[in-house]
Structure 1
Amino acid sequence: MEKKDIFLLIETRYRSFTNTEKKVADYIKQHTRDVIYMSITDLADACGVGESSIFRFCKTLDFKGYQEFKIALAHSFTMDDETPQLTSEITMQDSINELSSKILSSTVNALSQTNKLINNHDIEKAVDWMIEAEKIHFFGVGTSLMTAMEGKNKFMRITNKTECSFDSHLQVMSAALMTPKDVAIVISYSGSTKDTLEVAKVASERGVKVISITRFQKSPLTTYSDITLLCGANEGPLQGGSLTAKISQLYLLDVLYAEYFKRTNEQSILNKESTAKAVIEKLL
């Protein structure tokens, strides 16, 4: 994608903007660092406009959509910064010790923020649904698919009712065959990935209980979610797939797993012993 200077584009086209577009442009200029980490819903709320207005603003600047706009915004932000950056904190001049310390700090902060965002009632309700469910389907694409696979792998050790399809087409097909007795755990950092939204929409229309793990309280994904579990890691558009965000998601899955195991202790112990025995011969 060709790099564009957002601020130059806004300056040269400002007079031709509608009043709504000027409102969005003014907010972006004043809160650039914050906007990089905002969902389209967050930005719309902050500007006091609709999501469609944000999308039209992006199209006015010749971008295909909001995500492409945010990538260009991040590039423009780093172009204006005197210090070349790999992320919002790590610079090209950092030593290995500095790199490791900063990564440790950002990971610990993300986990701490995630812990503060945990709603005990939501965790209890989510685990209630998982215990009662006939099937638990984990969904995600890209990096979130890796998290979904890890969720299946973890719960598979204590229950035989977990599912996770690798292909986005297979995922939406699985969603189309789910019933109100099933639970869908949908993982998406942004909450605005098209394939993931389609899965959540289909599952919701089938009466399935949808639990989402995402960064933003307000995003397209949460409109199809019965319970939203928030991860606290900030991930810019140039940091897609960061391990810090993934670790935050895995932390929430671990909390769900521990609560599930605690409540189904007797059966979970038996299942864990059986699955451990099944693979023990694979080890030297």
Structure 2
Amino acid sequence: MTLKNMIELSNGLTPIETEIGYYILKNQEDILDMSVIELAEKTFVSKSAIHRFCKKIGLKGFNELKVILAKDISEMKSDIEMIDVNYPFERKDGSQMIAKKLSKLYETAIYDTYDYMDFIELHKVAQLLHKAEVIDIYTHSHNMNVAENFQDKMLTAGKSSVECPHGFYKQRLTALASNPKHAAIILSYSGKATFVKPILKVLYQKKVPVVYVGKAGGNLYPQYVAGALTISSRENLRDRISQFSSHIAMQYMMDVVFGCIYNMDREKNIEYLKESIGFMDDRDIQDE
């Protein structure tokens, strides 16, 4: 996990510690040449405050922070062609260059999301969804494609209990009809979509466990959420051509969740596939 991700995912940072993190990320190369005392002077805090910050983000001390930062900088410099995820191609780019740049953007979004993954949290979420009798996915706009893709994948394992209610009215009716045997997934890159808070509050009252999937810092109502999965957060909320990065990151995360659930009943799921494939695919295909 990159240092940036570690800072963004840290819970309970004080305002002073948040400022320390902001300064480090803004002055990464300069930090490598600083001592802990010099950093304390630059950020107007005590030496002990720097050490507490390092502990809060999961490091032993300032020296380990510099080691991780040096690795991050090296990897960034080795990536010769940096992609702007909001405007990944230019007016002058032809079809081949657009294809090349988007392939790089997808790769970056997936690697970013992988770096954010907390595998203990991922396992907990997969178990929670696996034991639910019904999974309801609440989202809107382009993320509905991701939700329905997850629904389709679950059907290939014989699980017909994934629902993707469309629209304000259907989503609220679904939430009201839920019970503790349900589990819910909220897909929202920013966490700021207007449907999120009202749905979360009702699901909490109904004792329905909720999984939030979105960017770092997007889990705005942790008191209502049983599990949270973080995806790449490079994309601007408005200043962009389209949701290239957030879409591929969301799709990747939900595919990983499906894979984890699938493997909990792997032999049974493969047997189901073998039994059903003849009915689902009636093409006359001869094995070579």
* Structure 1 residues 245 and 86, CA gap change in structure 2 (3 angstroms): closer
What RMSD in Å do the two structures reach over aligned CA positions? 2.6
For 1:180, what is the secondary structure of its paired residue?
Answer: coil
Where does residue 143 of structure 1 map in the other structure?
A: 142
* Structure 1 residues 94 and 149, CA gap change in structure 2 (3 angstroms): same
Contact 1:212 1:221 in 2 (8 A): no
For residues 101 and 127 of structure 1, what CA distance do their matches in structure 2 show? Answer: 34
For residues 262 and 217 of structure 2, what CA distance do their matches in structure 1 show? Answer: 27
User: Residue 268 of structure 1: CA displacement?
Assistant: 1.7
TM-score by length of 1: 0.64
User: Residue 174 of structure 1: CA displacement?
Assistant: 0.8
For residues 98 and 276 of structure 1, what CA distance do their matches in structure 2 show? Answer: 39
Contact 1:192 1:221 in 2 (8 A): no
For 1:257, what is the secondary structure of its paired residue?
Answer: helix
User: Residue 211 of structure 1: CA displacement?
Assistant: 0.6
Q: Show structure 2 runs of 5+ residues with no match.
A: 1-21, 27-83
1:186 is the counterpart of 2:186:
yes
Q: Number of aligned pairs?
A: 202
What is the aligned-residue identity percentage? 18
Contact 1:213 1:230 in 2 (8 A): yes
User: Residue 86 of structure 1: CA displacement?
Assistant: 10
For residues 178 and 130 of structure 1, what CA distance do their matches in structure 2 show? Answer: 15
Where does residue 280 of structure 2 map in the other structure?
A: 279
User: Residue 283 of structure 1: CA displacement?
Assistant: 8.1
Where does residue 265 of structure 2 map in the other structure?
A: 264
For residues 182 and 244 of structure 1, what CA distance do their matches in structure 2 show? Answer: 30
User: Residue 143 of structure 1: CA displacement?
Assistant: 0.8
For 1:192, what is the secondary structure of its paired residue?
Answer: coil
Contact 1:188 1:214 in 2 (8 A): yes
Q: Show structure 1 runs of 5+ residues with no match.
A: 1-26, 32-84
For residues 275 and 171 of structure 2, what CA distance do their matches in structure 1 show? Answer: 28
TM-score by length of 2: 0.63
User: Residue 218 of structure 1: CA displacement?
Assistant: 4.1
For residues 207 and 182 of structure 1, what CA distance do their matches in structure 2 show? Answer: 9
For residues 184 and 284 of structure 2, what CA distance do their matches in structure 1 show? Answer: 33
For residues 176 and 253 of structure 1, what CA distance do their matches in structure 2 show? Answer: 25
For residues 87 and 98 of structure 1, what CA distance do their matches in structure 2 show? Answer: 16
Where does residue 122 of structure 1 map in the other structure?
A: 121
Where does residue 101 of structure 1 map in the other structure?
A: 100
